[in-house]
Amino acid sequence: MSLTILAIESSCDETSASVCVDGKILSNFIANQSVHEKYGGVVPELASRAHMQNIVPVVDTALSAAGLQLSAVDAIAFTQSPGLIGSLLVGTQFAKSLALALNKPLIAVHHMQAHVLANLIPDERPAFPFLCLTVSGGHTQIVLCKSPTELRVIGETIDDAAGEAFDKSAKLLGLPYPGGPLIDKYAATGDPKRFKFPEPQIPGLDFSFSGLKTSILYFLKNAGTTNIYKEEFLADEASQKKFIEENIHDICASIQDRIISILLNKLKKAAAETGITHLCLAGGVSANSGLRKAFTELGEKMHWKTYIPAFQYCTDNAAMIAITAYYKYQAGQFAAMDTVPSARAEW
């Protein structure tokens, strides 16, 4: 008997729905919310309203792209946590209503587990146990994955996430939100070794990015002369602007290079400590072309087998919710009708 799952993702500013049959993704439709662009970040109230407007057409589109009707669906999955509470509420209420109306089981999915399991979407998959470096706008984690339903965070950021490091650096450079993809674009033709930013010394497998942000801030305020804060180093605004304009490619390449080395040095340490040789990337920042290339090259050098989800499964999407729900269904992990969303959720 085949198993058809309809999944909904609405944790932040993307409204997405996906249909998955027997672990194969048939459709994955994503509506982006451009309404936040002029505010330089996601405005929670506007995100919830846009989800409410988008959710019916998004689900309809995902179903028709899969060539299926609602009556063919065997289970409804949704992102329960973590995320913006108003955004999560829209997806949760919609999924619960559908499950109730269709009299089908409900599956609650953890967004971070789903980012990791995006690696199980293609036919060529990592073998268990594998390690996953999950890098998104809100999280930076090294996850040890023993099975689709047994995951443990063995390292994470103690302050900013890698995506925040990209976005905040972009903001300092005067680039629009979200700045990660733009840094990636400028970095492609820049010299990554031109400017040196410090690598934090954090014990164990944890990460820190707040020091990097401070060092970039003073570097730009000093028009590239030093990373140190001292009144006498501060350049006037016109010189700061000119320095950025003339060096944007090299600055972006150097920032990206440091973020990548912070991430991959910890991943290398995690692989050495656990002896695990199947390694994955996940999350929005894994769309970064420099990280994808450096990760693949490191894998070749270390004799790892490396896996990276396709672009459309790196940033927020419902296909990763659907694949996670597929495994949760098989493990009998269903949600009760009184399930509520949670902005933060422990693993």
Residues that bind Zn ion (CB under 5 A): 136, 316
- Which of positions 138-157 make contact with ligand KG4 (CB under 6 A)? 138
Nearest CA to 333 out of 120, 111, 149, 153 is that of 149
In the chain, the DSSP E strands lie at: 4-9, 14-21, 24-32, 75-81, 106-110, 130-135, 140-147, 150-156, 278-282, 305-307
Contact between 165 and ligand KG4 by CB under 6 A: the answer reads: no
Task: Kindly tell me which of 247 and 286 has the beta carbon lying closer to Zn ion.
Answer: 286
Q: Judging by beta carbons within 10 Å of its beta carbon (0-12, 13-18, 19+), is residue 115 exposed, middle or buried? A: buried
User: Binding to ligand KG4 by residue 316, rule CB under 6 A?
Assistant: yes
Peptide bond before residue 176 is cis, with ω within 30 degrees of 0: no
């994503």: which residue's tokens? 30
Q: Does 341 bind ligand KG4 (CB under 6 A)?
A: no
Q: Which is nearer to ligand KG4, 240 or 317 (CB)?
A: 317
Nearer to Zn ion, 144 or 320 (CB): 320
The reply on whether position 173 binds ligand KG4 by CB under 6 A is no
- DSSP 3-state assignment of 44? helix
Supply the minimum distance, in Å, between the C-beta of residue 280 and ligand KG4.
Answer: 14
> How many positions of this chain bind ligand KG4 (CB under 6 A)?
18
Query: For the chain, what is the radius of gyration of the CA atoms?
Result: 21
Instruction: Output the smallest distance, CB 230 to ligand KG4, in A.
Output: 31
Give the CB-nearest residue to ligand KG4. Answer: 284
- Calculate the dihedral angle through the C-alpha atoms of 88, 93, 99, 101, rounding to the nearest 10 degrees: -160
192 binds ligand KG4 (CB under 6 A): no
Does the protein bind ligand KG4 through residue 187 (CB under 6 A)?
no
Give the span between the Cα atoms of 245 and 239, in whole angstroms.
10
- Which value, to the nearest 10 degrees, does the dihedral of the CA atoms of residues 301, 307, 310, 311 take? -60
Q: In terms of CB distance, is 263 or 279 closer to ligand KG4?
A: 263
Under the binding rule (CB under 6 A), the answer on residue 315 touching ligand KG4 is yes
User: Is 184 among the residues that bind ligand KG4 (CB under 6 A)?
Assistant: yes
Query: What tokens were used for 191?
Result: 């010299």
- Applying CB under 6 A, does 284 fall inside the site for ligand KG4? yes
The residues in 43-102 that bind ligand KG4, with binding defined as CB under 6 A, are: none
Applying CB under 6 A, the residues found at the interface with ligand KG4 are: 12, 136-138, 163, 166-167, 178, 180-181, 184, 283-285, 287-288, 315-316
